[in-house]
Structure 1
């Protein structure tokens, strides 16, 4: 606004000058000079304002850059602290090695794995801790040709001489001209892992041997029903080779159609809950030629997998024997019923026989008592010679013996005695001497002694001092 007022005053003076009198050249120039000075002044003020504005903007930018640098430096410091903490506490060994093999840098974790401190190893040759020069040369060949080595296994020795199996992750570092200057990377102690792998390998060999040599046909089944592994016994059972089955066939191909739906459901349930399906059951197995065999299966899920291991036994002969046994049992049951009926009839007959026997005994006893003994008594009252009396006494005694338990026990217990020996035994029991027995039986005393010896032998009394008559009396 101020500049505008000045311009108006100038023009008014010029107008007055032109109106009143004609101005001279000097006045005109003066006015031009004033205008030029004014314009220069205005330009200078504008430039000052612009420069001031630029400086203010640069100052603000500089302040922002300073703040950003402080922020970045803070982040960098925190990052350095973070990675320094990681570096110092890393489980693996971080390393930097010169192309000449001299160790340039190591993380503190080197002491935990090798028992060496950082200071003991930095500046020494890494090749000294290799156990095998061949492994060292192989690592160098890989790193030189590929520029990187991933999970490369080597064996090193620690400060105490203990062998350490390590896995190397390494790469070459190049300068700006592409020349290798060092190798950096990490070393991981995998000794425990290798020992575990070796133990697992030995375990696999052991169980593979058991798997192959077990008498039962055994297979490993995948979740999709594919047979992934079979043993020799399953080859024999199915009639197919391992190459024809492993990874190529489903176990469902060996199941009779009547059993398949049930077993497929077991297969599904077992992978949801292994207790939801039976672990042991019978089914019918079909071999490559279509022959059906009775089989018994024991199956279970392999822990932490969806695979199952199945052991199959051929029980065809056993089932055939069971069927034959059942048939035989039914036949025997029929025969048993027949025998029971026959036994009942025999019991009736035996009972009747015993009754008849008792009746006969009673009748015989009655006849002897009433029809024989009375006449003997009459004979005894008559006039008889002594010899006749003896005979009558013998007859009477024998009749009584017939109806006494002695005869029955003697004849049943000593069936081996001859009739003559039985006569001698009866007379001995009555107390007769050898001479008396000889006279009564019209035999010589030697013959009677011979019979006495035979009786003792047959009664197991040989070489015993027991009295023969006393023993015979125990049988009454």
Structure 2
């Protein structure tokens, strides 16, 4: 099957051959004897030698070679022999021979033939009723090159269609010259349906915006990147990120644009969801901060109220119980006196929040260790504490070591009594609750 280009070339060749034949046709109108003499002239030989490949003058009736150019002779052509025997080395006429067709049409005939693995364009040109010009042009290299070019085009098309990005070429009139499969698929169209059509025909909703960007690239001759644009297909909107690049010919002239787009609809959706989630978290954080502030105020109010109650309780103890204990001290033994003094001190601090603070801060302390901590805070020595609990000083010292360890001040040069008086006593219960 010949291409349009090949058919055009054949017509051009026919005209060229006709011009050459005009040089000898006046002579061929004479009788055969006169023509036989003409074949020996320089005019005919010059005509045959003008062909760049083996060219034969053959009798249509006998199929004998009447004349040949130098190339044909050097290739082994023997004048007077049958053309198929001398030229094709066959015992019978060639299957592709067009003599019968030539005799019917009296027109230049050309066909493609394969001979010994080579491809030839074989030609038959009528000169008279019995004589015709026959030559074959070896087009093997041309056909092979043509096949390679076609194969390369097919391979490039496969690569072009395998790329997940949306790729297109557009001319200066906004027509799609070429699109890849990815763009056709996302548009719910075939490649043939898109190529040759303008964006206004394919994407009427956004064509004006696309065309504006195209013109900007064409006029500035500078690529425009990261264009965020919608693509509306069947009332569904997709979002594309597009790069548009000037499309130049071999002379550097701008003849259109090349576009490469990425569908980031899903990514855009995820980004929107993240933005919404972040805003929701910010709002929740603001609400939490407000709630925390309100809680602090409530706790402060409760703490003030508790302090007022404690003051009332302490006042009642001072007025009713402490005077009675002072009377008991008179005439008491040393041991009784110490116990009464300790009881008075504890009653004086009954409203103190020291023990509760200590217990909330250091949950691993045992009840006995909590008592010792309270005594240490009040300045009692290990001996007095041992006397109070009727135990040895060594036992109290071991208990103090255990307390230091649980308070995380073991092996540190920190006085235990001072630590209990400052770090624990001054610690805010409200702050502790808020942190929790």
State TM-score, norm by structure 1. Answer: 0.45
Over alpha carbons, which structure has the higher Rg?
1
State TM-score, norm by structure 2. Answer: 0.48
The structure with the largest helix share of the pair is: 1
Q: Which has the higher contact order (CA 8 A, sep 6+)?
A: 2
